[in-house]
Amino acid sequence: MDRAELARRRDIAAGLAAEAAALAARMRAEGRGTASLKGTQDFLTEADGATERFLRDRLGALFPGEAVLGEEMGGEVAGDGPLWVLDPIDGTSNFARGGDRWCVSVGLVAGGRAVAGAVARHAPSEVFAGAEGSGATLNGAPIRAAPTEDITRAIVEVGWSLRSPLAGFHRLAERVMAAGAGLRCGGSGALGLVETACGRLDGYLELHINSWDAAAALAIAREAGCWTTDFDSGDWLASGNPIGFGAPALAARLAALLQA
Ligand code: IPD
């Protein structure tokens, strides 16, 4: 897929993600954002399913026959062809409690790599977007990772889920704080990752995250000059991986914190 086609698809992803976020917000306002539990601290609302259905229908009409993998409805991950990777609502726990820290993530994978994507937030109205070779933007304006060089000035988000042993999360958070960084844990991995790409955060570290949470953010972050771990490797689409993003000058420090 050439650069122009990737940029065209990025723009489509950005428009669809923003529309999907508006749909989810409308459903919540109508009282259809109440959560049930898929497992401990694993929330699902009626809006998650409806938003993924919306994205699948629109992508199916625009790109007939292309594969789609989504958090709620699954999908096939085999082959090198284009694959759309969707998180209809990332930060569902915040969404279900009436908070604003949630987003819709639409990523595009080609040849097994994350190559383009968009992450849209409803309030504030923000669309992060990127495509390989064409840069990364927030609401159309170019973004860059933070220039931070000193870990004692850094703000680092540490993502949490019950997919990894709790002790590992505790140790990671302790290492980040012992290094002198300020700690955050905001409940939306996709937002934490793109906020690192645009320099609001100096790092995002998580011991395991799923492909739908991070595919779009990875394509955006690489274009924003962010340090990123090799997330789109191995069996990442089906099984996820550990992830680290950060200010480029802090790369070695953050990598050591993630791996220790
Ligand atoms: C979760 C959130 C959370 C991250 C987890 C994700 P969900 O996604 O992004 O911040 O730490 O790894 O599973 O359940 O809100 O879509």
Give the number of residues written for the chain.
260
**Tokens matching residue 161:** 């889920």
Among 142, 164, 180, which residue terminates a domain? Answer: 142
Domain match, 87 and 201 both: no
Number of domains making up the chain: 2
Helices marked H in the chain? 3-29, 46-62, 92-96, 166-178, 189-197, 211-223, 236-239, 251-259
Domain match, 232 and 127 both: no
Minimum-distance ligand 1 atom for the alpha carbon of 102: 15
- Per residue in 217-235, pLDDT (tens digit) is 999 999 999 999 999 999 9
Domain match, 105 and 228 both: no
Domain match, 180 and 230 both: yes
Domain match, 204 and 250 both: yes
Residue 237: which domain range? 151-259
Domain match, 16 and 110 both: yes
| Residues 6+ away with beta carbon under 8 Å from 217 | 105, 107, 117, 119, 128, 189, 190, 193, 194, 197, 245
Evaluate: CB of 202 within 6 angstroms of ligand 1.
no
Evaluate: CB of 87 within 6 angstroms of ligand 1.
yes
Domain match, 9 and 137 both: yes
Residue 229: give its domain's CATH number: 3.40.190.80
pLDDT at 206: 98
Mean pLDDT, residues 2-28 taken together: 97
Domain match, 187 and 255 both: yes
3-state secondary structure of 71: coil
- Per residue in 159-171, pLDDT (tens digit) is 999 999 999 999 9
Domain match, 97 and 156 both: no
Domain match, 48 and 137 both: yes
pTM of the model: 0.96
Average model confidence (pLDDT) across the chain: 95
Q: Which long-range contacts (CB under 8 A, 24 or more apart) does 136-139 make?
A: 136/197, 136/198, 136/220, 136/221, 136/223, 136/224, 138/194, 138/198
pLDDT > 90 fraction of the chain, expressed in percent and rounded: 89
Separation of CA 2 and ligand 1 centre (Å): 32
Domain match, 166 and 255 both: yes
Among 81, 113, 142, which residue terminates a domain? Answer: 142
Residue with tokens 């007939």: 64
Evaluate: CB of 102 within 6 angstroms of ligand 1.
no
- Per residue in 182-219, pLDDT (tens digit) is 999 999 999 999 999 999 999 999 999 999 999 999 99
Domain match, 110 and 231 both: no
Minimum-distance ligand 1 atom for the alpha carbon of 191: 9
